[in-house]
Chain A
Amino acid sequence: MRYEEVIAGFALIALASFGLWASRSYAVGTLKSMGPGWFPRATCLVIMGLGIALVLSNVLKPNPVPLEKNTLKMRPMLLITAAYISFGLTLSVVGLLPAILIVIVISGLAIPRRSLLEWVLIVLALEAMAFWMWYLVKLPIPLIGGH
């Protein structure tokens, strides 16, 4: 049994159940005149069936074949998420360039050990890029300061 596959199967079942729950109020209708709920619910049932098949095929498999080791590191994932969310939260308060600075600092920390020179170069290059993009598409937000 490959536990990753089993987790993946249960995730599909969970997604399908959520979809069925979320679409509970959409009219299903008949084949002749299908309501807004028919196709979504049918798709959810297909996903659920596939999830069950994935779980069963791995539980019933006698000889486990190990998957290649592919881990996901928490540090880059959390820092990149934080960088994006910080952009959304700070943009309208501090303006584009400071918001980008925050993105650079947070996401830059995803890789340990960076020299000061490297930091300075990255900040300068990317702030210039941000300015250029702002100019190019005429973004309706201030470069610095709230709005």
Chain B
Amino acid sequence: MDILSNLALGASVAFSLQNLGYAFIGSLVGTLIGVLPGIGPVSTIAMLIPLTFHLPPASGLIMIAGIYFGAQYGGSTTAILLNVPGETSSIVTCLDGHQMAKKGRAGPALVVAALGSFFAGTVATLLTALLAVPMAYVGASFGSPEYFALMVLGLVGAVILAQGSPLKAISMVSVGVLMGLVGMDIDSAVWRFTFGLNALADGLDFVPVAVGLFGIADVIWQLSRSSDSLGAIAKIGGWRPSSDEVRRSIPASIRGTAIGSFLGILPGGGAGLASFASYIVEKRISREPSGFGRGAIEGVAGPESANNAAAQTNFIPMLTLGIPANALMAMMMGALTIHGIQPGPHLLTLNATVFWGLVVSMWIGNVMLLIINLPLINIWVSFLRIRYSAIYVGILVFSVIGVYTVSNSVIDVYLTILFGVVGSLLLRFGFEPAPLLLGFVLGKLMETHFRKAMIQSGGDPMIFVERPISFALLVLSAGLVLLLVSPTFRGSREIF
């Protein structure tokens, strides 16, 4: 019955009028920006984090969670109506969702996507509530060697899912770790890589790095691609799914929820992987696999449920162990740290109200999205017509003020543009910024745990192998690395 009292505590936070308001604004803004062309959830959150900085921690996080789910949802709307995936997790939605829209079944596709997401979100919220306490319990039993091994596993997982060469992804993780080390070393009080700048004494701030690498770099990158023309927006037509469509969607949605919930918890897992996996499963078990790619509703219901479930269960390892599975979770983790909250096993005891408030408000966010999305769909569709050439100036103005407000310092503004230019060069040379952000978020902690482990063992690195859990985690990481360099897997990875 502990779960119930925890959820009740969460509800008392999340259902306050103020926090309901923030959840609503978050979902609204998230959806709005999610449907705008050329802006994905990661850059959306990067740009909006500075504003939530001025709210109380619980409210700020509740708003960010709303933005997160809203942006995800906005992505599937553009996928179905415009054949433009907002991000990786809605690429598969394009395949059958847009085909349905072309056949005049856009309405049912949107309804199925929304209801499937809602169902998945509800199940995943319950799962989060159930798993959080035991996970945090396990996490609390971990010593430094286990934590170090766990972070290695998390970073290897992120590398596996990065596009392009694994060598470059590992390089990005390492550069991120190095960036995470900037600032005063706690043990020796030595200032590292600060180049005499007081502003860097506490380390590189998260906001300039995140806004630069994901917001500004993205703008420069998009402006370098010249296509500003829009495809045709599909007509929505009727809303009601036929009874055949309902019959086929429900099991697909349940399977998608199960797949997504599971994959969201794994290191390196996330919404993108979950939606691909669900699509493959649906296609394989379908009696008419040839219908896929031509508007099979299972191809919308499954992946849309899976990506929402994974988007939610992603929070479990991040909140309870402090290990973000992907760039979005690293972004959320950065947001938490800005509010002075360190994710990890102690979050549940130290910040119980924040944690349970967040869990409950995730579910509230899902309800609000259901309310906001379908009835207001025509408003969102009108946003689809806005051109990137008109909005990128707005993105820049919004970010420049946002970055400045965090500490009222123009140094942050200069750092942001520095990382913006660096980020666009990274994209130019085929490096993914996501592994870098993960390394950046974990860098200092990795060093701390490595040092503690070495003190504990008296300088013997065998400690990582002698302790069973850290050994198992490292074997798992090594297995993933082997998988990464094996030719068969590399071949199948290209498909994504």
Contacts and interface: CB of A to CB of B under 8 A. Distances in A.
B400 A51 contact: no
A8 B425 CA distance: 10
B397 A100 contact: yes
Contacts of B429: 4-5, 7-8, 11
Main secondary structure of the interface of B (DSSP, over half): helix
B413 A47 contact: no
B175 A15 contact: yes
Nearest to A30: B459
B167 A72 contact: no
A77 B223 CA distance: 9
Given A77-B424, A91-B404, A137-B51, A130 B397 contact: yes
B427 to A, nearest CB: 7
Nearest to B459: A32
Contacts of A134: 401
B482 to A, nearest CB: 17
Contact of B224 (A27, A47, A72): A72
Interface string A27-43: 10011111110111001
Contacts of A95: none
Interface residues of A, number: 69
B202 interface: no
Contacts of B51: 133, 136-137
Interface in A77-107: 77, 80-81, 83-85, 87-88, 91-92, 96, 100, 103-104, 107
Contacts, number: 181
Contacts of B216: 80, 84
B224 A71 contact: yes
A137 B427 contact: no
B167 A46 contact: no
A6 B455 CA distance: 40
Contact of A47 (B171, B389, B459): B171
Max chain B C-beta neighbours (<10 A), residue from A36, A57, A141:
A36
Contact of B193 (A19, A81, A104): A19
A118 B390 contact: yes
A50 interface: yes
Contacts of B455: 32-33
B402 A133 contact: yes
Interface in B28-87: 51, 54
Given A76-B224, A137-B405, A81 B417 contact: yes
A70 interface: yes
B374 interface: no
A3 to B, nearest CB: 11
B428 A72 contact: yes
A104 B168 contact: no
A59 interface: no
A87 B394 contact: no
A108 interface: yes
Interface string B207-233: 000000000100111011000000000
Given A72-B224, A83-B396, A88 B428 contact: no
Contacts of A76: 219-220, 223-224
B192 interface: yes
Contact of B393 (A30, A35, A122): A122
B12 interface: no
Given A7-B429, A8-B430, A39-B451, A77 B421 contact: yes
Given A8-B430, A136-B54, 8 more contacts: A31-B454, A31-B459, A72-B424, A81-B420, A87-B404, A96-B401, A107-B393, A125-B394
Interface of B: 51, 54, 165, 167-168, 170-171, 174-175, 177-178, 181, 185, 187-188, 190, 192-193, 195, 216, 219-221, 223-224, 389-390, 392-394, 396-398, 400-402, 404-405, 408, 410, 413-414, 416-417, 420-421, 424-425, 427-431, 446-447, 450-451, 454-455, 458-461
Interface of A: 4-5, 7-8, 11-12, 15, 19, 22-23, 26-27, 30-36, 38-40, 43-44, 46-47, 50-51, 53-54, 57, 67, 70-73, 76-77, 80-81, 83-85, 87-88, 91-92, 96, 100, 103-104, 107-108, 110-111, 114, 118, 122, 125-126, 129-130, 133-134, 136-137, 139-141
Q: Which 9 A-B pairs have the closest CB atoms?
A: A32-B459, A76-B223, A84-B417, A31-B459, A36-B185, A88-B410, A73-B224, A36-B190, A39-B447
7 contacts: A5-B165, A36-B190, A39-B447, A57-B167, A70-B428, A70-B430, A72-B221
